[in-house]
Structure 1
Amino acid sequence: MPLVVVRDHPDRPGTVELLDATDDGTVTGRTPVPLPDLTAEVARREATTGPRWVWDDTARRYPPLLSAGVRVARCHDLRLCHAILRSSAATAGADLATAPPGRWDAPRPGVPRTDDDAPTLFDALPQAGPLAPTGDGPNEPDELRRQLDAVAGAREPGRLRLLLAAESTGALVAAEMHHDGLPWDTSVHDALLTGLVGPRPLGGDARPPLLEALADEVRTALGRPRLNPDSQPELLSALRSAGLDVTSTRTHEIRALDHPAVAPLLEYKKRSRLLSANGWHWMESWVRDGRYRPDYVPGGVVTGRWASSGGGALQLPAAVRAAVRADPGWTFVVADAAQLEPRVLAAMSADAAMAAAGRAADLYQGVVDAGIVETRTQAKYAMLGAIYGATTGAAGALMPELTRAYPRAVGLVEDAARAGERGEVVSTWLGRSSPVPGERWWADVRRASEQEARPEDVRTAQRRRREWGRFTRNFVVQGTAAEWALCWMASVRRRIAPMPGRPHLAFFLHDEVLVHTPRELADDVAAAVRDAAAEAGRLLFGAAPVDFALDVSVVDSYDQAV
Structure 2
Amino acid sequence: MTGPRQVLLQRRGPDAVVALVDGAPEHLQEADLSRFVARLEAAGAGPRWVWDDTTRWYPALLAAGLRVRRCLDLRLVHRLLRRSPLVDQGLLTGPETAAWDELVPRSATSAAAGSAGGGAEGLFDLHVHVAALDAAAEHAAQQAALAASLQRGRLQLLVAAESAAALVAAEMTHAGLPWRADVHEALLAAELGPRPPAGEPPAVLAALLARAREALGAPSLNPDSPADLLRALRRVGLEPPDTRSGTLSQLDHPAVAPLLEHRRLSRLHAANGWRWLREWVHDGRYRPDHLPGGVVSGRWAAQGGGALSVPAVLRPAVAADEGWRLVVADVAQLEPRVLAAVSGDVDLARAAAGGDLYQGVVDSGAVATRSDAKLAVLGAMYGATAGSGGRMVEHLARRYPRAVEHLELAAAAGECGEVVSTWLGRGSPRPGGAWTQQAPDVPVSEADLRERRSWGRFTRNFVVQGSAAEWAASWIALLREELWRIGGAGRVEQRPHLVLFLHDEVLVHTPAALAEEVADAVRGAAERAGRLLYGEFPIAFPLDVHVGSSWADAADDADAGAPA
Distance 1:364 1:138, change over 3 A: closer
How far, CA to CA, are the matches of 1:385 and 1:130 in structure 2? 45
SS of residue matched to 1:91: coil
1:244 aligns with 2:245: no
Cα distance in structure 2, aligned partners of 1:238 and 1:186: 39
**Which piece of structure 1 moves more, 285-294 or 493-502?**
493-502
CA distance in 2, matches of 1:440, 1:197: 49
Q: Aligned partners of 2:295 and 2:268: how far apart in 1?
A: 24
Is 1:194 the counterpart of 2:189? The answer is: yes
Residue 213 (structure 1) shift: 1.3
TM-score, L = length of structure 1: 0.90
Tell me if structure 2 keeps the 8 A contact 1:385–1:399: yes
Greater Cα shift, 323-332 or 497-506: 497-506
Residue of structure 1 equivalent to 2:323: 329
1:189–1:323: 8 Å Cα contact kept in structure 2? yes
Matching of residues 80-479 of structure 1 within 5 Å = 80-96=76-92, 101-106=97-102, 108=104, 130=125, 133=128, 139-203=134-198, 205-246=199-240, 248-442=242-436, 445=438, 450=442, 458-479=445-466
* One of 41, 52, 56 as aligned partner of 1:56: 52
Q: Does 1:530 align with 2:533?
A: no
Could you say if the C-alpha distance between residues 331 and 134 of structure 1 is closer, same or farther in structure 2, counting changes exceeding 3 Å? closer
What residue number does 2:498 align with? 505
2:53–2:105 contact (8 Å) kept in structure 1: no
Change (3 A) 1:74 1:130: farther
Partner of 1:8: 11
Deviations along 1:400-445, one digit per CA (max 9) or x if unpaired, are 21011111111101110111111111000000000111043425x5
1:254-283 deviation per Cα after TM superposition (whole angstroms, max 9, x unaligned): 233332211211111111111111111111
SS in 2 for 1:142: helix
CA 338–210 in structure 1, closer or farther in 2 if over 3 Å, else same:
same
In structure 2, the partner of 1:44 is 39
Deviation at 1:237, TM superposition (A): 3.0
| Distance (Å, rounded) in 1 between the aligned partners of 2:375 and 2:130 | 56
How far off is 1:305 after superposition? 0.5
Partner Cα distance (2:406, 2:546) in 1: 34
- Counterpart CA distance in 2 for 1:430 and 1:273 is 38
Using the TM superposition, give the Cα deviation of residue 502 of structure 1 relative to its aligned residue in structure 2, in angstroms: 0.9
| Contact 1:287/1:293 (8 A) holds in 2 | yes
The one-letter code of the counterpart of 2:520 is A
CA displacement at 1:531 relative to structure 2: 0.6
Q: For 1:211 and 1:75, locate their aligned partners in 2 and report how far apart those are by CA, in whole Å.
A: 49
Partner of 1:124: none
Give the alignment partner of residue 467 of structure 2, picking from 467, 480, 492.
480
Partner of 2:111: none
TM-superposed CA distance for 1:34, in Å, is: 0.9
Structure 1 residues 449 and 459, CA gap change in structure 2 (3 angstroms): farther
Deviation at 1:100, TM superposition (A): 7.9
Q: 1:138 to 1:105 in 2, by over 3 A?
A: closer
Question: 2:509 pairs with 516, 522, 527, which one?
Answer: 516
CA distance in 1 between counterparts of 2:256 and 2:90 reads 58
**TM-align CA RMSD:** 2.2
Q: Residue 15 of structure 1 aligns to which amino acid in structure 2?
A: A
Is 1:94–1:153's contact at 8 Å kept on the other side of the alignment? Answer: no
The yes-or-no answer on 1:31 pairing with 2:32 is: no
Contact 2:55-2:106 within 8 A present in 1 as well: no
Instruction: Evaluate the alpha carbon distance shift between residue 276 and residue 379 of structure 1 in structure 2; reply closer, same or farther with a 3 A threshold.
Output: same
Q: Distance in 2 between matches of 1:136 and 1:192?
A: 47
Q: Distance in 2 between matches of 1:326 and 1:555?
A: 8
CA distance in 2, matches of 1:511, 1:136: 36
CA distance in 2, matches of 1:131, 1:398: 53
**Secondary structure, in 3 states, of the residue corresponding to 1:497?**
helix
Q: Following TM superposition, by how much is the alpha carbon of 1:130 offset from its aligned partner in structure 2, in angstroms?
A: 4.4
Secondary structure (helix, strand or coil) at the match of 1:48 reads coil
| Separation in structure 2 between the aligned mates of residue 46 and residue 262 of structure 1, nearest angstrom | 61
Distance in 2 (CA, whole Å) between partners of 1:363 and 1:135 is: 47
Contact conserved, 2:14 with 2:128, CA < 8 A, in 1? no
- 1:123 counterpart residue number: none
Q: SS at 2:485's partner residue?
A: coil
Question: How far apart in 2 are the matches of 1:379 and 1:13?
Answer: 59
Question: Structure 1 residues 317, 255: CA separation in 2 closer, same or farther (over 3 Å shift)?
Answer: same
- Within the candidate set 472, 477, 485, 1:490 is matched to 477
Q: Which residue of the partner structure matches residue 540 of structure 2?
A: 547
Unaligned segments of structure 1, at least 5 residues: 22-26, 112-128
1:114 alignment partner in structure 2? none
One-letter amino acid of the counterpart of residue 270, structure 1: R
CA distance in 2, matches of 1:442, 1:262: 45
The residue identity in structure 1 corresponding to 2:67 is R
Classify 1:503/1:235 alpha carbon distance in 2 versus 1 (closer, same or farther; 3 Å): same
Whole-angstrom CA distance in 2 between matches of 1:403 and 1:270: 39
CA distance in 2, matches of 1:298, 1:494: 18
Could you report, residue by residue, the CA deviation over 1:476-514 in whole angstroms, capped at 9, with x for unpaired residues?
000000000000000110011022361000110000001
Give the C-alpha shift of residue 306 in structure 1.
0.6
Structure 2 segments unaligned to the other structure (5+ residues): 108-123, 489-493, 559-564
Distance across 1 between alignment mates of 2:550 and 2:387:
39
Change (3 A) 1:64 1:109: closer
1:79 to 70, 75, 81: 75
* Distance 1:78-1:102 versus aligned 2 partners, 3 A rule: same
Counterpart-to-counterpart distance in 2, 1:135 and 1:391: 48
Letter in 2 for 1:72: V
- Measured in 2, the distance between the counterparts of 1:322 and 1:69 equals 30
Question: What is the CA–CA distance in structure 2 between the aligned matches of 1:149 and 1:409, rounded to whole Å?
Answer: 34
Partner Cα distance (1:320, 1:440) in 2: 45
Distance 2:202 2:130 in 1: 56
Q: Distance in 2 between matches of 1:6 and 1:41?
A: 11
Describe the SS at the equivalent of 1:301. Answer: coil
Query: Hey, what does 1:17 align to over in structure 2?
Result: 18
**Alpha-carbon distance in structure 2 between the residues aligned to 1:371 and 1:397:** 15
Do the aligned partners of residues 135 and 376 (structure 1) sit closer, same or farther apart at CA in structure 2, a change above 3 Å counting? closer
Distance 1:143 1:526, change over 3 A: same
Q: After superposition, give the CA deviation of every residue in 1:220-271 in whole Å (9 maximum; x if it has no partner).
A: 1110123232344433332233333245433233233332211211111111
- 2:170 aligned partner, one-letter code: A
1:453-473 deviations in Å (ceiling 9; x for gaps):
6xxx62112111110110000
Residue type at the aligned position of 2:384 = A
8 Å contact from structure 1 (residues 87, 97) kept in 2:
no
SS in 2 for 1:346: helix
Paired residues of 1:92 and 1:98 also in contact (CA < 8 A): no
* 1:102 counterpart SS class: helix
- Give the distance between the partners of 1:168 and 1:160, measured in 2 at CA: 12
In structure 2, the CA distance between the partners of 1:257 and 1:92, relative to structure 1 (3 Å rule), is farther
Q: 1:12-40 CA deviation, whole Å, 9 max, x = no partner? A: 6412111123xxxxx2x111111111111
Q: Which amino acid aligns with 1:514?
A: L
Q: Which amino acid aligns with 1:212?
A: A
Q: Contact between 2:205 and 2:265, CA under 8 Å: does it hold in 1?
A: yes
